[in-house]
Amino acid sequence: MTLKKDVLDPQGKVVQNTLVNLGMNNLKSIRQGKHFEIEIDEEHQASAEKKIDDMCKKLLVNLIIEDYKINKIQ
Amino acid sequence: MKSSVIVFPGSNCDRDIAVALEKLQFKNQMIWHKETNLPKSDLIVIPGGFSYGDYLRSGAIAGKSLIIDEVIKAANSGCLVLGICNGFQILTETGLLKGTLLRNKNLKFINKDVHIKVINNNTKFSNKYKKNQILKINIAHNEGNYFTDHSHLSELNSENLIAFKYCDEKGNINENTNPNGSLENIAGILNSNKNILGMMPHPERMIDEIISNKDGVNLFSSLMK
């Protein structure tokens, strides 16, 4: 989960400025986000993803300001 | 007038708001968040604090609690609802108020008395104030930076749904008088039916000249029938 592109991310900005001060001059941009590791008891990946998508929409993500992606971890 | 104050684990302005309401002769009840019945109330208050330790997002967990279904039902049938500080954050999480409250632009928790201007005094929450009256009210928050999309922002302006804006003691509204980066210096908004008010400043802390001032009193007296 990250803040949407047009939402100011002051924490990401501070991290970015600090890295530039440390000499990482080729740094283009940093967006700070968060992630959840979710275990779910489902036989099929598609239905597991659907349930997790539902969790994101109902609680985990604030869709006004945040974008999210679901990735499978082996 | 009957009022109900909803209490969550981590609420810490619930007693203050109860004192303010009782001082203004409300018959008040405290309602624990696990209740599934809300007593008949003219006013529901969601107080400030740090419900559930601000886990996930400020107000996100409280916004899904058992009592909230009853608050939503009451609000949709016209009951007055006031959310202060964390209460405002909870109201946005429930969807009763649109938009959201982001982290303060300067990344600091801000606790100070600031000036706000009464933008709309033609509401049940603000009719005892004069239009453009300047109040000095305490703010104490880490996420008070109001954000919403363009279409809702223009609705807020065209429908006169902005209740209060941050300003200086002379009433100037600009970037320098904006403590937290809030869109258009917004300090409080109403829903389209104008029966729900969410605001970051704490009027319940401004009801007694011995400890602060009395600039918050008229918000509660406005609500009296």
What is the mean predicted confidence (pLDDT) over B199-212? 96
Measured in angstroms, the CA of A29 and the nearest CA of chain B are apart by: 18
CB contact under 8 A, B147 and A11: no
Angle at the Cα of B69 (from B44 to B13), degrees rounded to 5? 40
Given an 8 Å threshold on Cβ–Cβ distance, is A10 in contact with B56? Answer: no
Residue of B64, B103, B105 with shortest CB distance to A59:
B64
| pLDDT tens-digit readout, B169-181 | 999 999 999 999 9
Q: What whole-number percentage of chain A has pLDDT above 70?
A: 100
Q: Residue A40: exposed, middle, or buried by beta-carbon count in 10 A (0-12, 13-18, 19+)?
A: exposed
DSSP string over B117-170: EES--SSTTTTTSPTT-EEEEEEEES--EEE--HHHHHHHHHTT-EEEEEE-TT
Q: Which domains does chain B have, with CATH numbers?
A: 2-223 (3.40.50.880)
- Name the residue type at position B55: Y
Q: For residues B206 and B213, is the Cβ–Cβ distance under 8 A?
A: yes
List the single residue in B56, B64, B100 with the smallest CB-CB distance to A65.
Answer: B100
At residue B225, the pLDDT reads: 73
Domains plus CATH for chain A? 2-67 (3.30.1280.10)
Decide if pLDDT at A74 tops 90.
no
Q: pLDDT value at position A8? A: 86
Quickly state the pLDDT bin for B187 (edges 50, 70, 90): very high
Are B51 and B90 a contacting pair, CB within 8 Å?
Answer: yes
